[in-house]
Amino acid sequence: MSSSTENPMQALAASMTPKFAVSYLRVSTRGQAERGGGADEGFSIPAQREANKKKALSMGAIVGKEFVDRGASAKSADRPELQKMLEYVKENTDRVDYVIVHKVDRLARNRGDDIDIMRTLRECGVQLVSASESIDDTPAGMLLHGIMSSIAEFYSQNLANEVKKGINEKVKNGGTVSRAPIGYTNIRRIDEKGREERTVILDEERAPLIRLAFEEYATGNWTIEDLAEHLAACGLTTRATPKIPSSPIDKRALNTVLVNPYYKGIVTYKGVAYQGNHPSIIDDETWQRVQDVLSSHYNGERTREHPHFLKGSLYCRSCGSRMIITYAKSRSGVRYPYFICIGRHNKAKDCKQKAVLIDEIERQVEEIYDRYSLPADIREYLGKWFQNYIKDEKERSGAQLGGLHREKHKLEHQRKKLLEAHYYDAIPLELLKSEQQKIAKQLAAIEHEIKAHEHTFDATQKRLADALDLVEDCGRTYRLADAHIKRMLNQALFSKLWVNEDGQVSAEFTEPFQTLVAFAEEEVARHNEKEIRSATQALTDFFSVISNRLQKFFDDGLNNNFMVEISGIEPLTS
């Protein structure tokens, strides 16, 4: 009797208890989730939420749990909130009655994923409900669900193909298909016909520092870690994103910058290089020099243990070994830096060279510079002579410059033909990459030669004037220079600085300075022998001797067979 009275009451209570529904919301892109609407939800998510709540109320249910995938594509079921929702349904099979979506395509745009999701829901006794479509467990509803799911899959695949075609066309025309790297800014603007244009411009704050990064690393004097610290101190920071704040550039980010051809004006898509429309920050020559330095550091970068601007220039006269730095500590704990012979230090040679205080070596090198200052009248004569000589050579190089421009246009045309052949599937991707790399290196070398022709003469004339100003008092110039400039001066002027057994330093000059010094010493000897001649006559004799050498320098220096490779003095690596 009691059981017969309880069953109707339980049934009545159950009919009065609202059903429990789970709401699933999704937008495909992060932009949709953040575009207006407040609370970083855009407009689409609140609209779906409201539609799902109304649908639940119409069925006598309440939405007790919500799952939202913001910026997740439905091409795959590997979406974090979708998986959480399925797990929740499995754990609450006795509680959940409905899963409500705004449309079937919010749940899946892949027919296989849709089947798997529906199987899971049916096993849990949960019904899928669409707020916009009439799908249910009836045969007609299931048919409509299947049709809508197939349409969603077709739409997704067709959209993907259209997007790929659009991207291919954009990169062919030099457009940027993704977020531009640090140093650039993506902008949207409206042209004169009211059309939206998405383009890339230079980031006025970061672009100069990116240029500095390439120029400095191309010198070979930096490790990536040290340069990253220097650039961070100069104010170079990464760009902020909605989730990641801006931060000082680090070693990893800088390495990504240095290997990205985008900075020389190239857009890379699927391994193929295209000439971009965006402004380049560096030229091809600087880019290639940086890549060569990176290649030379393939086995790692080393930081000097005891850096000094004379290291690499000092050699032991007794055994010919390099001089290295060591420190000796006195009884009072004071450390004194010395230059010592590495041959004696390693006991590899029977060398008796004594250690010499670094301060003493520096003082003697400064005295060497003091001995080779240039008198004012000779400086004036040199300036006029070089100006006339450079003017004549500039006129003579015009024909060679025209040939270089023709060769450049030929290579650019060849690169264009390669891309066209690839578009028509005439050549495979790997062959295209290989040929593009070859052409890029050839173009970089030609650009280097063209710049040598176009700028060398004017730049050389200016630099010669600056150099002559500096050598009027070499000692003062050397003393005022920082350590980096001192190192460059020593390596440019001296092939070796010899340290004798008595600790005295003597210089062995590089060419053409050795010829200049030898001539000057001969003139001093003649002067001491009272064979005095005027400075003008002496210089005239001197230039008649070395004019052939200068002629050969300009001839060979601008000749393909004698040009220094773009990597610098060392040969290119494989």
Contact 249, 232 (CB under 8 A): yes
| pLDDT number for residue 545 | 47
**Extents of the domains making up the chain:** 2-163, 184-296, 376-472+511-557
- Sequence-ordered list of residues with C-beta below 8 angstroms from that of 77, at least 6 positions apart, any chain: 83, 108, 110, 113, 116, 117
| pLDDT number for residue 254 | 92
Helix (H, G, I), strand (E, B) or coil at 325: strand
Q: Using only C-alpha atoms, what is the Rg of the chain?
A: 38
The identity of residue 82, as a single letter, is L
| pLDDT number for residue 207 | 92
* Segments of 330-464 assigned E as strands: 335-341, 356-357
Residue 571 has pLDDT above 60, yes or no: no
Helix (H, G, I), strand (E, B) or coil at 498: strand
| pLDDT number for residue 337 | 86
Mean pLDDT of the chain: 77
Residue 481 has pLDDT above 80, yes or no: yes
For the record, the structure tokens of 37 come out as 């609407």
Residue 99 has pLDDT above 60, yes or no: yes
Half-sphere exposure of 429 (CA within 13 A, CB side): 6
| pLDDT number for residue 498 | 92
The three state secondary structure string of 225-288 is HHHHHHHHHHCCECCCCCCCCCCECCHHHHHHHHCCHHHHCEEEECCEEEECCCCCCCCHHHHH
At residue 73 the predicted structure's pLDDT band, cuts being 50, 70 and 90, is low
| Percent of the chain at pLDDT exceeding 70 | 76
Helix (H, G, I), strand (E, B) or coil at 459: helix
Residue of higher predicted confidence among 142 and 310: 310
At residue 182 the predicted structure's pLDDT band, cuts being 50, 70 and 90, is very high
Which tens digit of pLDDT belongs to each residue from 528-557? 554 444 444 444 454 444 445 445 544 554
At residue 412 the predicted structure's pLDDT band, cuts being 50, 70 and 90, is confident
| Percent of the chain at pLDDT exceeding 90 | 11
Output phi, psi for 335, to 5 deg: -100, 130
At residue 263 the predicted structure's pLDDT band, cuts being 50, 70 and 90, is very high
| β partners of residue 274 | 267
Which tens digit of pLDDT belongs to each residue from 205-231? 999 999 999 998 988 778 888 899 889
Alpha carbon separation from 480 to 360, 382, 476, 484 (Å, rounded)? 18, 24, 6, 12
Residue 516 has pLDDT above 60, yes or no: yes
Residue of higher predicted confidence among 203 and 344: 203
Residue 568 has pLDDT above 50, yes or no: no
Which tens digit of pLDDT belongs to each residue from 32-72? 445 444 444 445 788 888 999 999 888 888 888 999 988 66
- Domain 2-163 in CATH 1.20.1070.10? The answer is no
Beta-strand relationship, 266-269 and 272-275:
antiparallel
| pLDDT number for residue 3 | 45
Q: Which pTM was predicted?
A: 0.46
At residue 5 the predicted structure's pLDDT band, cuts being 50, 70 and 90, is very low
Q: Topology of domain 184-296, per CATH?
A: Hect, E3 ligase catalytic domain fold (3.90.1750)
Which range, 291-300, 389-398, 496-505, is most confident? 496-505
Residue of higher predicted confidence among 339 and 422: 339
Please tell me what DSSP assigns to residue 219.
T
Residue 315 has pLDDT above 60, yes or no: yes
Given the structure tokens 């009065």, which residue do they identify? 16
What's the rounded Cα separation, in Å, for the pair 289 and 268? 20
Q: Which of 336-345, 359-368, 528-537 has the lowest mean pLDDT?
A: 528-537
Q: Which of 80-89, 336-345, 448-457 has the lowest mean pLDDT?
A: 448-457
What's the rounded Cα separation, in Å, for the pair 313 and 510? 12
Q: At what angle do helices 376-396 and 535-557 cross, to 10 degrees?
A: 30
| pLDDT number for residue 562 | 41
At residue 104 the predicted structure's pLDDT band, cuts being 50, 70 and 90, is confident
Which tens digit of pLDDT belongs to each residue from 21-42? 999 998 876 554 454 444 444 4
Contact 99, 24 (CB under 8 A): yes
Please give the average per-residue pLDDT across 104-110, as a whole number: 79
Q: What angle do CA 362, 366, 370 make, to 5 degrees?
A: 170
| pLDDT number for residue 88 | 93
| Per-residue burial over 432-457, b = 16 or more CB atoms within 10 Å of its CB, e = otherwise | bbebbeebbebbbbbbbbbebbeebb
The identity of residue 473, as a single letter, is D
| pLDDT number for residue 212 | 92
At residue 299 the predicted structure's pLDDT band, cuts being 50, 70 and 90, is low
Please tell me what DSSP assigns to residue 317.
T
Residue of higher predicted confidence among 50 and 454: 50
